[in-house]
């Protein structure tokens, strides 16, 4: 382990504004099993793996592991199709990543998404030259609010949890960061309010508000 500071980014709603792509792809998947996903269900499940969501919401319609896998694959393929056609990077993401790297931060992605989705986003944001570690939903057995995804990211970075800041847009992700013993930044995004993210150590309305100095000060404040 080293004492280098690190920032671990959730992917959807933090690095890429993928709310509509996810919602539309879930609607396509739900329709194939005669179901519908409401906006409330969609918002409540953000941060969990697709496999967990399918098994929880439609246990009567999707009854086997093979069925879950097929519906999961269909949903995620639709997501990538929508996102690849029009990639909406979050405002300020590129300058923030560049400034953090220049300031010596280690950078990682800790996402519940499948590897193909994460690879698409990493590629569009500059490739593995930007991120020192990437964790996707297939790397973990338990989705957020379990801290496994963030703890694995820290392990791959070689940075202790107390030196990590997680940037998240979902309450489940904030809870996972807390459980991992990491500082947290809540990013207000589509479907997310400041009130919903109030458990974070810092809440911002845009990535533009974040700088290396802000992360250094947050780490110092949380450790006190």
Q: Residue 135 has which token pair? A: 């964790």
* More confident position, 47 or 82: 82
Query: Regarding beta strands 106-110 and 183-187, do their DSSP bridges make them parallel or antiparallel, or are they unpaired?
Result: unpaired
List, by residue number, the catalytic residues. 10, 12
Give residue-wise pLDDT tens across range 133-163: 999 989 998 889 999 999 999 999 999 999 9
**Candidate ranges 62-76, 97-111, 134-148; pick with highest mean pLDDT:** 97-111
Q: What is the pLDDT of residue 19?
A: 86
Write down the pTM of the prediction: 0.86
Predicted confidence (pLDDT) at residue 47 exceeds the cutoff of 70: no
Q: Where are the beta strands (DSSP E) in 21-145?
A: 106-110, 133-135
Q: What gap in Å lies between CA 76 and CA 71, rounded to an integer?
A: 9
Tokens 């080293």, residue? 2
Q: What is the pLDDT of residue 190?
A: 73
Q: What gap in Å lies between CA 170 and CA 168, rounded to an integer?
A: 6
Indicate the average pLDDT of the chain.
Answer: 93
């Amino acid at each position: 382990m080293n004492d280098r500071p690190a920032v671990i980014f959730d992917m959807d709603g933090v690095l890429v504004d993928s709310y509509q792509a996810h919602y539309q792809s879930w609607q396509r998947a739900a329709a194939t099993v005669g179901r519908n996903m409401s906006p409330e269900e969609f918002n409540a499940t953000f941060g969990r793996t697709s496999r967990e969501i399918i098994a929880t919401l439609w246990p009567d319609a999707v009854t086997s592991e093979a069925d879950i896998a097929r519906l999961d694959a269909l949903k995620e393929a639709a997501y990538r199709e929508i996102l690849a056609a029009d990639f909406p990077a979050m405002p300020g993401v590129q300058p923030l990543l560049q400034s953090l790297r220049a300031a010596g931060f280690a950078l990682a992605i800790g996402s519940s998404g499948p590897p193909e989705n994460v690879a698409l986003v990493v590629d569009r944001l500059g490739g593995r030259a930007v991120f020192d570690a990437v964790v996707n939903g297939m790397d973990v057995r338990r989705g957020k609010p379990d801290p496994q995804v963030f703890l694995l990211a820290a392990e791959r970075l070689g940075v202790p949890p107390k030196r990590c800041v997680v940037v998240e847009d979902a309450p489940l992700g904030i809870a996972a960061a807390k459980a991992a013993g990491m500082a947290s930044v809540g990013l207000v995004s589509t479907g997310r309010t400041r009130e919903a993210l109030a458990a974070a150590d810092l809440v911002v309305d845009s990535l533009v508000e974040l700088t290396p100095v802000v992360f250094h000060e947050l780490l110092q404040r949380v450790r006190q």
